[in-house]
Amino acid sequence: MHLPTSLNWRKVPWSSTPYSVTLAFLKIEFMKKYVVVFLAVYAVNCLAQETVGLDYYLPQQINYDTSIPTPASIIGHEVGEWHVTHDKLMFYMQTLANSSDRITIENRGRTFEGRPILLLTITSPENHGKIEKIRKEHIALTENGSTSMTLEEMPIVVYQGFSVHGNEPSGANAGMAYAYYLAAAQGPEIDKILDNMVILMDPSFNPDGLQRFAYWANTNKSINLNSDSNEREYHEVWPGGRTNHYWFDINRDWLPVQLPESRARIKTFHKWLPNILTDHHEMGTNSTFFFQPGEPTRVHPLTPKLNQELTAEIGTYHAKALNKIGSLYYSEENYDDYYYGKGSTYPDVMGGIGILFEQASSRGHVQESENGLLTFPFTIRNQFTAALSTIEAAKNMRTKILSYQRDFYKGLREEAARNKTKAIVFGDHKDAAKTWHLAEILDRQNIKFHELKEDVSIGGTNYKKGSSYVVPMNQKNHRLIKAMFEKRTTFTDSLFYDISAWTFPLAFGLDYNELPTLSNAGSEVTDFKPLTGAVTQQSTYAYLFEWHEYYSPKALNKIVNKGIRAKVAQYPFSMNGSTYDYGTVMIPVQNQELSSEELYEFLKEVAKESYLTITAVTTGVTQGIDLGSGDFEPVKKQKVAILVGSGIRSSDAGEIWHLFDTRYDIKLTKIDTEYFSRTDLSSYTDLIIPSTGRGGSLGKADAEKLKEWVKEGGTLIGYRTMANWLDKQEFMDLTFKKDTLVAKNISFGKKNDFLGAQVTGGAIFEAKTDRSHPINFGYKNSTLALFRNSNIYLKPEKDSYNNPIQYTNKPLLSGYISEENLNLIKNSVPFKIKRLGKGRVILFTDNTNFRAFWYGTNKLLMNAIFFGPMM
Ligand SMILES: [Zn+2]
């Protein structure tokens, strides 16, 4: 028997380690030279802390193949001794894959910061030899004709992902020991696992976040480990490592698939349709260990009951394994299985079983907790143990879980054929790009859709070919379509771990109808083409484009940044048989800095990059306001800043940064709250202050500074909780609608449920709009679906023209809200504007940029930026 020890890495000869992939800082020459130094550092550490060896994690009584490099032999430290950086993690996984015939590795893409998104495929060498055959047979199990397939020889597919929240690192660090185990363990037990299983291992669900957190924990580590929870090591600076580059929670993106990390893994998911998918997280330091199933009453109704029963049976394996190492745990409470955008819930609507693990976080290297000293290695060992108990369960329950998947899809086929609704049509005849982006999600989710056969009016709504699609309901993933398109307003529970509604056509602000036949479906879209744009022809007079297209702000920004004069129509008009709505942009040809020819060339480029049609016109005469009318208001070049940093909600700020940077190509200066008071604002036209977090950090002096800047012509745009601050600092005089809720017949034991039921965690509401107000330019309908996850309710202004967006009398479109809050939201207003000197103060009580997929209300922010001075 050979067990690796903490010093085992010295035994691996450097020359035998494959270095086909090198990192600049880990060049072999460098390593050779500094082996002695590493040893010295190691010795010092030993004096200060009890460094655990690899054997701390690994199952005992097993032989390990000595030709397989241990993590320490490659990355220079033991698992759990330091927080592994993504670079080192990647390097180890690549080295391991090069050393083991059980592992192959692929790079599926790049994060925003350019890190590879790796996937390890782990199975027996024999299975590797026929991996594509295995995959095809596995997929065939979910297709028609699967009933005749025999499950006896069929491997089960397990997808294991780690640390989607970068500052929950025990998962990713455990992954090294786990991958080592799978590569190096010897004997009949591991052979049986590898013969009967294909393990898809995603060593880091969030490379950018993991790197950011590792940097924090490591740079604050002392030789004398300090478990004092006040120690800086356990208090990351803003925005923390939980999120990805643009501060998104990647574990909310499994359904909308807007981020590169999710795109890679959703592709893998559809390629393999795994039977089990595990998601390794961390929670509060004083907790223990959680594994699903979660709260039984908070399972999405589209998830089969058997899914939860199998989850519970798998849970018995986790319990047994954790009992063995003496770790405390719990199950069936706290976490839920409702929102399909989470990694542990998404598989449940796809015939798989998603499992959430939550480990109490040491955050840094060791921290005091209610359960005694919580060391980083201890947290890693629990994750390692759960990873192993997962495959133990998968091995023993293999045929049962495979037949569950087969039956799930068989049931789905029967269900799909019974659907009364045969198709869903969605679109916006004024906005092809927004429509295209919803179709793009369907494409990424392996959902089939068709072109619209021809322009048609359904129930008074016009659908245009090219900016509408038809989704047939009789198809494989129709339950996923239901999960994406349905509206739901009744619930068995009033508590939600995350949002309670995400109805995609509402999020995109698109028209949609259910269809009783497939008669409107044209040909299936099999080659989903990118968006295009063009200028109709060269003009010597003027160019026009309507404001409805999603990317029109991108175009306008490019135009004004080039120094080209552009004006915006304050009223609709028509000419040459076409109607032009509020907000149409007009670019005169004469007296510009570019010649007529240059302007045409430039606009061609703008149209192409912004995916819209720019129309050339030869006259200023229209029906309605003529092109030379004073009702065409000039638009100025904008210089926009956003307040970020401590006190600001990073998710809200990141959504705005992402919107400007990746969609609209608009430069956005991020000013940190730390130096805000010393910043000269005079060159900025707009300042956005996202929702503030705990307490916020803006004081009276900041308020005075901002007021002066607004009076000089600045546009201040505040979001959500900024309502309170703007009111308190007398930027606006707001009247809040409140309910004094009193608990009656509620016991102490039910207090949390009672209070929790008042939380509006995320639901969708309808507002009516005044389309003549510049805040609503670019919206063709007179109602708007808004996402809301706050309880701020504002009374409308006395004068109706000052309430351009107002919630209707029956505002709930989808999701959960308490009766008390529903009464408050009725007829309240989510938008306020006030003139102050030459400037404007604008407030949105709702998030118009939610999680990068709420395309429908992005334009409200753009209108505030470009048209603020017109309001
Ligand atoms: Zn987490």
Q: What is the whole-number distance in angstroms between the Cα of residue 751 and the centre of ligand 1?
A: 26
| Regions in the chain scoring below 50 on pLDDT | 1-48
Q: Tell me the CA–centroid distance for residue 233 and ligand 1, in Å.
A: 19
The rounded Å distance from CA 703 to ligand 1 centre is 36
Q: 502: CA distance to ligand 1 center in Å?
A: 20
- pLDDT of 753 reads 87
Closest to 132 measured CA to CA, from 321, 140, 756: 140
Residue with tokens 């939380």: 759
**pLDDT at position 31, please?**
43
Instruction: Compute the distance between CA of residue 423 and CA of residue 185 in angstroms, rounded to an integer.
Output: 51
pLDDT score of 203: 98
Between CA 364 and CA 344 the distance in angstroms is 25
Asked if residues 844 and 859 have their Cβ atoms less than 8 Å apart, the reply is no
Taking the centre of ligand 1 as the mean of its atom positions, its distance from the CA of residue 309, in whole angstroms, is 24
287 Cα to the center of ligand 1, angstroms: 13
Contact between 499 and 761 (Cβ < 8 Å):
yes
Q: How far is the CA of 463 from the centre of ligand 1 (A)?
A: 41
CA 634 vs CA 213, 460, 560, 562, 587: distances in Å = 46, 35, 10, 15, 10
Closest CA to 469 of 445, 442, 444: 442
In which element (H, E) is residue 376 found? helix 376-396
For residue 168, report the distance from its CA to the centre of ligand 1, in Å.
6
**Distance of CA 165 from the midpoint of ligand 1 (Å):** 5
Q: Tokens 């068995």 identify what position?
A: 492
Q: How far is CA 721 from CA 640, 649, 770, in A?
A: 21, 10, 25
Distance 356 CA to ligand 1 centre (A): 9
The CA distances from residue 600 to 539, 544, 557, in Å, are 8, 12, 17
Distance 173 CA to ligand 1 centre (A): 15
Centre of ligand 1 to C-alpha 16, Å, is 38
Task: Give the pLDDT score at 434.
Answer: 97
Q: How far is CA 174 from CA 92, 275, 522, 569, in A?
A: 13, 22, 50, 59
How far does the centroid of ligand 1 lie from the alpha carbon of residue 362, in Å? 13
Cα-to-centroid distance, 320 and ligand 1 (Å):
24
Distance 241 CA to ligand 1 centre (A): 11
- The span from the CA of 423 to the CA of 404, in Å, is 27
Ligand 1 center–CA 280 separation, angstroms = 8
Question: Tokens in use for 433?
Answer: 């790009």
Here the tokens at position 195 are 């013969």
Measure 694 CA to ligand 1 centroid, in angstroms.
20
- In what helix (H) or strand (E) does residue 108 lie, and over which residues does it extend? strand 103-110
- Give the Å distance between the CA of 790 and the centre of ligand 1: 22
Question: Distance from the CA of 283 to the center of ligand 1, in angstroms?
Answer: 7
C-alpha closest to that of 710 among 580, 527, 843, 519: 843
pLDDT in the model for residue 694: 62
Residue 102 C-alpha to ligand 1 middle, in angstroms? 30
| CA 250 to ligand 1 center in whole angstroms | 10
Q: For the chain, what is the total number of helices (H) and then of strands (E)? A: 23, 34
Q: How far is the CA of 730 from the centre of ligand 1 (A)?
A: 39
CA of 289 to the centre of ligand 1 (A): 13
Supply angle C-alpha 105, 111, 113, rounded to 5. 125
Distance from the alpha carbon of residue 734 to the mean position of ligand 1, in angstroms: 37
Distance 115 CA to ligand 1 centre (A): 20
Query: What is the Å distance from ligand 1's center to 284 Cα?
Result: 10
pTM above threshold 0.95 = no
Euclidean distance between CA atoms 804 and 849, whole angstroms = 19
Residue type at 90 in one-letter notation: M
- Ligand 1 centroid–CA 278 distance in Å is 12
- Full DSSP string of 789-833: -S---BPPPSSGGG-SEEEEEEEEEES---HHHHHHHTT--SEEE
Q: Classify strands 372-375 and 366-369 as parallel, antiparallel or unpaired.
A: antiparallel
State the distance from the centre of ligand 1 to the C-alpha of 524, rounded, in angstroms: 39
Dihedral over alpha carbons 814, 524, 853, 203 (to 10 degrees): 110
- For residue 347, the model assigns a pLDDT of 98
CA of 764 to the centre of ligand 1 (A): 25
How far is ligand 1, taken at its centre, from the CA of residue 648, in Å?
Answer: 20
Distance 404 CA to ligand 1 centre (A): 28
Distance of CA 357 from the midpoint of ligand 1 (Å):
9
Contacts of 699-707 with C-beta under 8 Å, sequence gap 24+, read: 700/729, 701/677, 702/676, 702/677, 703/729, 703/730, 703/731, 705/677, 705/681, 706/681, 706/731, 707/731, 707/836
User: How far does the centroid of ligand 1 lie from the alpha carbon of residue 339, in Å?
Assistant: 14
- Most distant pair of Cα atoms in the chain: their distance: 91
294 CA to middle of ligand 1, Å? Answer: 15
Query: What are the DSSP calls for 465-524, one per residue?
Result: TTSEEEEESSSTTHHHHHHHH------S-S--SS-S---HHHHTT-EEEEESSSTTEEEE
**What's the first-to-final CA gap in the chain, in angstroms?**
78
Distance 84 CA to ligand 1 centre (A): 18
Q: Is 657 helix (H, G, I), strand (E, B) or coil?
A: helix
How many angstroms separate the alpha carbon of residue 163 from the centre of ligand 1? 7
Distance from Cα 120 to the centre of ligand 1, integer Å: 22
pLDDT in tens, 208-221: 999 999 999 999 99
715 Cα to the center of ligand 1, angstroms: 37
Are residues 391 and 405 in contact, defined by beta-carbon separation less than 8 angstroms? no
SS3 532: coil
Strand, coil or helix: 615: strand
* Interatomic CA distance for residues 369 and 704, integer angstroms: 44
Ligand 1 centroid – CA 279 distance (Å) = 9
Task: Give 297 Cα–ligand 1 centroid separation in angstroms.
Answer: 21
DSSP-derived secondary structure for 585-608 = EEEESTT-SS-HHHHHHHHHHHHH
Query: Cα(251) to centroid of ligand 1, in Å?
Result: 8
How much helix, strand and coil, in percent to the nearest 5, is found in the chain? 35, 20, 45
CA of 293 to the centre of ligand 1 (A): 16
Ligand 1 centroid – CA 281 distance (Å): 4
Amino acid at 271: K
* Alpha helices by DSSP H, 123-169: 125-128, 131-140
Tell how far CA 50 is from the center of its chain: 39
164 Cα to the center of ligand 1, angstroms: 7
Short-list 740, 557, 522, 750, CA closest to 640 = 557
Tokens 């998030």 correspond to: 847
